[in-house]
Structure 1
């Protein structure tokens, strides 16, 4: 009997939290999904000279090319994240952020780094979830009645994004267990 009362009370509290938090949750979810890009962009800004020096020495290039690379990364990451957060041209923002993932993978020579792969795939998964969320639901023949096949691409994007995010957490748990 006490367990039923406790579960009922927990459900009531959860309902109340959801009722008051339903307007904040989508914004918070988008912030969590782009937080890595925001952090990396801020780090590039605060460690400008270190980032520039690393690119100059690893690429064996000049000051100008290294500066352009770091500036491009900074602007695209912070700008793309801002576009996602204010829900303006989310498809374009996801494409820009995806280009950063690919660019950094090759620029920092992380293509064959097995430890970097889960991070890269989870970022792609987060971008796919953002892309799926931004897709407008297809018009239905009758309001409120679900129909088959309306949002197939959206469903596939969500599934792929969730699997990639889940796979990242699974690999992180395996690393923690082996320590």
Structure 2
């Protein structure tokens, strides 16, 4: 029998998951607004972009990330929202010269996995076809995007593996927990429970390790970046916990036995 707490959790957890998922985009859009002159000088003087290109780049990322995040939380225009947020990630990776940075690439793939889960949730409820995609029913589209989202989310494990060469106790615990959990999510075994556990574990880990509000500049910005990146990835896992692994999983195969 459902308690009031469980009913409230089911009601609010999808909204919380989507908010966490886009947290890194919201934080970055405010960072660009507050540091606009500094970012503009960096792009012009260091990256050697002209003023017009810099203007377009900065405002595309400010408007795209903030507007896309709000639409994602509200579940409005989901396909275009996911495309917009993905393009901001790609544009920043290229513009800041981070194409060869493993940590940036892996974290970006993890967040992209969460965005694909948003698409999966959209196809469950909407009857929309995109040009260029195979004309398959909406349930199958949802499952394909959910599978891709699951696989990309596990890049979190690779992210943590490459993020530091300083292997302390906290680092070892994080890698072990996320490693085992990601294997279970890849094969789709106890996916909801595993995703919920990893999400809660990451949030707790994030609060304990990446407490950026206690640091001074410039270190604060680096720790703050890590905090919101991991918060977004935890939102992706929480979204997966709400949705389940889909048809391409051991959980679904067990139901058919």
TM range (shorter): 0.7 to 0.9
Q: Deviations over 1:56-107 (max 9, x none)?
A: 1233133333222111110000011111112210111111111111111111
Deviation at 1:39, TM superposition (A): 0.9
Query: Once superposed, what is the RMSD of the aligned Cα atoms?
Result: 2.4
Q: Does 1:23 align with 2:11?
A: yes
Taking the TM superposition and a 5 Å limit, the aligned residue runs for 1:99-118 are 99-118=87-106
Q: TM-score, normalised by structure 2?
A: 0.55
Q: Which 4+ runs in 1 deviate beyond 6 A?
A: none
Q: Does 1:160 align with 2:151?
A: no
Taking the TM superposition and a 5 Å limit, the aligned residue runs for 1:55-74 are 55-74=43-62
Counterpart of 1:130 in structure 2 is 118
Evaluate the alpha carbon distance shift between residue 38 and residue 169 of structure 1 in structure 2; reply closer, same or farther with a 3 A threshold. Answer: farther
| Cα pair 2:26 2:65 within 8 Å, conserved | yes
Which structure has more relative contact order (CA 8 Å, sep 6+)? It is: 2
Deviation at 1:167, TM superposition (A): 2.1
- Which of 163, 167, 186 in structure 2 is aligned with 1:178? 167
Counterpart of 1:3 in structure 2 is none
Q: Deviations over 1:123-179 (max 9, x none)?
A: 21111011111123489xxxxxxxxx7612211211221221222145316646725
Evaluate the alpha carbon distance shift between residue 116 and residue 138 of structure 1 in structure 2; reply closer, same or farther with a 3 A threshold. Answer: closer
| Cα pair 1:91 1:131 within 8 Å, conserved | yes
In structure 1, what is the Cα distance between the partners aligned to 2:159 and 2:50? 38
Equivalent residues, number: 158
Counterpart of 2:83 in structure 1 is 95
Q: TM-score, normalised by structure 1?
A: 0.77
Larger radius of gyration, structure 1 or 2?
A: 1
Unaligned runs of 5+ in 1: 1-11, 140-148
Q: Deviations over 1:32-75 (max 9, x none)?
A: 11111111111111111111111112331333332221111100
Unaligned runs of 5+ in 2: 128-136, 169-257
Q: SS at the partner of 2:22?
A: helix
Counterpart of 2:175 in structure 1 is none
